[in-house]
Structures are given as structure tokens and as C-alpha cells.
Amino acid sequence: MSKRKQVLAKQELDVVTNIPVQINEVFPRCITRDCKGWPIITDNASGEILCGSCGLVLEEKSLETISSHWSDPVDYLTKKSSGSINSLTMFDMNMTTIMSKRDSMGKSLSRTAKNEFHRLNILNTRSAVASKNKTLRSALLFLNMLQMKLGIPDSIAENSAHMYRKAIRAKLTVGRKSKSIVCACIYASCKQCGIPRSILEISTASNISKKEIARTYRSLVERLDLSINPFSSREFLASIANEAKISEKSRRDALEIIYSIEKAGLSQGKNPKALASASLYLACVLNAERKTQAEMAKASHITSTTIRTRYHDLRKFFLESINS
């Protein structure tokens, strides 16, 4: 080795030995020259370890230091690090059984243990492809597809899956299509949680007739003894107004009209979507906003005849209230 190479190697060795951070340290130290040596800060959210004095990032992604036990049970179910949460919308509730041919130490199992686990694996596969489980699997896949098409939240899908499992235990699926029961469960869950989805929207997304979904829904409510309040016209007001491009003043007037109708008890037994469309049309007439009944029918998917009938009822009600 030449003399120059020996000098360069010695300089590199001196630089390595003068580094103040030790390799085997449990907690890293700041290597900045003007650092005051304040305690380090561990950010559990981002996983970074910072210097409390100069703010130097000592480690970008540290190991998880947060305890797996949470004081709030909801936080424990949603934020625990032991895997994804259980879900009723999945066939096995996200508790898949995986049987390995090795033990926890990575060693191969004995011949007797292998035969036992092979037999258990066969039984597990047969139970998964049974006719009853096969129907449940296809129904839940159909539920996930409808959730994406209708844009409903996960809570509605979970409630619908729970209701469908109750329908299976009540033997409501005997003699009925599983897809129509899933649609009825979604409609019932939307009504329970106040999410405005009509039977027509569910029928269009699922390609099942509106009459069949309504008949299955009535049987579901009767068999499971569900307590469901009807939809309010206020819940359909925003979507119809956005589709018809109605002004904000007419929307507020239509909302006041709906409040007065519900207070008088005239909304009982009426289609809430038709009442919302008629209220918007009446508000547009009062504010001299040019909107036709055909435009309102196209925005709400309600026939013009129904909207015209509800409009005349609202007009008669307000004329009588003014005269009295």
C-alpha cells in the first residue's frame, strides 16, 4: 500500500472513532455540535424521534411504542395493531383460519401432527363451501357491491349484514331470493339511520324489481319485529334541489313548507319524495323561479301526475290557512 493511501485510511478511521453516537445505544443522542443536550422527544403519531434542543430528526420510523390496550373500547376495536378489525360484511367476519405445516419455532411438524392438521384443513374447506355458507358468501359480496353503487357508509353496510344474518336465523331466506333480502335489509337500515335511499334507487342499482323489494321488506319488518320510522321529506330535499338546480331561497321556503305540513299532520301516508318535489315546485312558483313540473319529475324520479297532485294539495292547504 502506498504512503498516500495509508494516510487516507488513517483519516477515515479517525473520523469513525470520533462520532459521539455509539452503535449499541438504546436511545440515540444528538450529534450536533451546538446542541444543548436536552431530552429527546418521541412522536408516537409519526414514529419519529427528535432532539428536544435543535429539532434534529434522529430516527424517522421508530418501532411502535404505543400500548395495544386502549381505555375506550371503540378505540381498541378500531386502532388495535393486532390485525384488521372484525366485520359482519365478510363471510368469516375477517377471522380466516390458516393452518401451517410448521410450528411457532419454524420447525416442521411430526407425521402425526401433519395428518391431524391435514384432516382439520379438509373439514375447514368443506364447511366453507357448504350450501348454506355459499349462499351467505354470495349475499355479502352482493351487499358490498350495492354499498359501492349506492354510496352508503360502512355503518349501514354493517347493520345490513347483521340484519341479513338475523333473517337467516329466522329462516326468512326459505323460498325467497337472497339478493332481494339483501336489498330489503339495506332499505331498512337506511330508514333506521336516516340515510335517504328510496326503493327505486336500490332497485335500479340491484336490477331487482321494486315490487319484489317492497314485498320482501314488509316480510322482513314483520318477521324481525323491526321498529322503523318513515323517511322525512326534508331528507330528500337537498338531493332533488341540487339535481334541479334550484336557488337557495326556494330551498329555504320549501323547507318551511315541509315543516308546516308535518306539523299539521298532512305528510302521513304520502310519498316523502313526492312531497319534497311538490314543496320545491311551490316554492319556485312563489319566488317566480321558472321550473316546470317535468324538470322536477326528472330530478326526483317521480311522475309529473304525482307531483301535480301533491302540489294542488299543498296549495289548497296554504290557501285555507291564509283565509282562516
Element (DSSP H or E) covering residue 58: strand 57-59
Query: Which value, to the nearest 10 degrees, does the dihedral of the CA atoms of residues 113, 119, 124, 129 take?
Result: 160
* 77-123 pLDDT per residue, tens: 444 444 556 666 666 565 566 677 777 677 787 878 878 877 887 77
Strand order in 57-59's β-sheet?
A: 40-43, 48-51, 57-59
pLDDT at 186 over 90: yes
Q: Which of 179-183, 229-233, 280-284 has the lowest mean pLDDT?
A: 229-233
pLDDT (0 to 100) of residue 45: 57
Surface-to-core class of residue 314, CB atoms within 10 Å of its CB (0-12 exposed, 13-18 middle, 19+ buried): buried
pLDDT (0 to 100) of residue 16: 40
Average pLDDT over residues 266-291: 87
pLDDT at 24 over 50: no
Architecture label for domain 132-224: Orthogonal Bundle (1.10)
Domain 234-323 sits in which CATH superfamily?
A: Cyclin-like (1.10.472.10)
In this prediction, what percent of the chain has a pLDDT beyond 70?
Answer: 70
Residues 160/190, Cβ–Cβ less than 8 Å: no
Reported as a pLDDT band with limits 50, 70 and 90, residue 68 is very low
pLDDT (0 to 100) of residue 4: 54
Residues 219/226, Cβ–Cβ less than 8 Å: no
Residues 229/282, Cβ–Cβ less than 8 Å: no
pLDDT at 13 over 50: no
- pTM of structure: 0.58
Residues of the chain with CATH 1.10.472.10: 132-224, 234-323
What is the C-alpha to C-alpha distance for residues 104 and 184, in angstroms, rounded to an integer?
46
Q: Which ranges of 98-177 would DSSP assign to H, the alpha helix? A: 111-128, 131-150, 154-169
* 219-271 pLDDT per residue, tens: 999 888 888 887 888 888 888 888 888 988 888 988 888 888 888 888 887 88
Question: Residues 6 or more apart from 54 whose CB is under 8 A from it?
Answer: 30, 32, 34, 35, 36
pLDDT (0 to 100) of residue 139: 87
Average pLDDT over residues 56-67: 55
